[in-house]
Structure 1
Amino acid sequence: MKPVNFETADDLAMPILKAFQERYGMVPNFYGALGIDGASLKGYLAFEEAIEERCLLSERQRELISLAVANRNGCHYCVSGHTFSARKLGMSQEECRAAQGGEASDPLDQGMLDLALDVMENSGACSSERKDRCRALGMSDALIMQVVAWTGINNFSNWVNNLVQPKIDFPKVELTSES
């Protein structure tokens, strides 16, 4: 499969790709890969925008989850891209590597990573004990749902990249072995 470009994108993907070009001066290869089907690209961005519009997760927490999920899914593209984004937020290389392995120094962040990886491992199922641990850390049911939603959208982007294998357009970061 080949990512689309301005010559090959469909009528749904084309304006989105042009907007990325205008906004960032380039179109990240992931969006060209997802743009193979304009409806999938449009739907992905709408879901991401809806979550971010009223997000209870900080940018840092979103990057932690994204790194853990990408590493678990074996997605080099997303590990590289999210490490780039996390570093721009001020996260250290060590924090990024730890997140890839599902580890965070803050107890709330650790609870979020545990939840994200648990729902991945159990196809969305989450034990009462896990939910109780999340609530004991101060997570509301809405925050728990957003962790699951962010995990889901990251799974989808990882699957797209693992399917299409677009060229990594960020400094490449290797996957870690899970702890």
Structure 2
Amino acid sequence: MKNFAVPTKEQVAPANQAIFDNLTKALGFVPNLYAVIGYSENGLGRYLAYQGAKTTLSNKEKEAVNLIVSEVNNCLYCKSAHTVLGKMNGFTDDQLLDIRRGKATDAKLNALVKLAASITKNRGRVDAALVDDFYAQGYTNESLIDLILQVSDKTAMNYLHNLTQIPVDFPIAPTLETEAVLN
């Protein structure tokens, strides 16, 4: 299999070079996974627009979805990145681990996490009770669409890392004990 190197700014198209500059200004660096998307002349801009689009989900809810989807898809890069981002959005270390295990103490967030995990594991064919609980917690049809779009966003990134295996440039997420994961 081809070994993917993380491209430098000079190795990507001019439009992506400008995005690299913007990412460096905003984050202090260009995350390796974003840099790899830079191999596509149009992919990085398209992905960042999709990722940054308005949604009914709060940043905290998005991070919960990102974490559980990354756990289901076993993506070390995204589990690591979203552990950092989850902390930045107010989650504690224990809450982050619980989300990766497929649960949350808050009933509304728990419904979101369970449904996101099932959507990912079952490719959208979920138990109706999970959807009913999602709606019972105050989510709407719009929220369901936004959840599916968030799952698709993170699944794409999980697949990209799982295929390329580029180096993780975030602190490595803690390993979960294997029992009770996603039950």
Report the equivalent of 1:149: 149
**1:15 matched to 2:18:** yes
Provide the secondary structure at the position in 2 that maps to 1:7.
Answer: helix
Q: Which runs of 5+ in 2 are unaligned?
A: none
Q: Which runs of 5+ in 1 are unaligned?
A: none
The structure 2 residue matched to 1:40, chosen from 35, 38, 43, is 43
**Matched residues, number:** 176
C-alpha RMSD of the superposition: 1.6
Matches within 5 A, 1:45-60: 45-50=48-53, 53=54, 55-60=55-60
CA offset at residue 166 of structure 1?
2.0
Deviates further, 7-16 or 101-110: 7-16
Deviates further, 2-11 or 125-134: 125-134
Q: Percent identity?
A: 24
Report the equivalent of 1:108: 108
Alpha-carbon distance in 1 for matches of 2:169, 2:141: 36
**1:161 matched to 2:165:** no
CA offset at residue 127 of structure 1?
4.5
**Conserved 8 A contact 2:12-2:38:** yes
CA offset at residue 10 of structure 1?
2.2
Alpha-carbon distance in 1 for matches of 2:25, 2:60: 26
Report the equivalent of 1:5: 8
- Alpha-carbon displacement from aligned partner over 1:84-103 (angstroms, at most 9, x marks no partner): 11112231111111111111
* Residue identity matched to 2:44: L
Give the TM-score, by structure 2 length.
0.88
Provide the secondary structure at the position in 1 that maps to 2:50.
Answer: helix
* Residue identity matched to 2:147: V
Give the TM-score, by structure 1 length.
0.90
**Conserved 8 A contact 2:72-2:121:** no
Alpha-carbon distance in 2 for matches of 1:73, 1:86: 18
CA offset at residue 155 of structure 1?
0.6
Deviates further, 10-19 or 30-39: 10-19
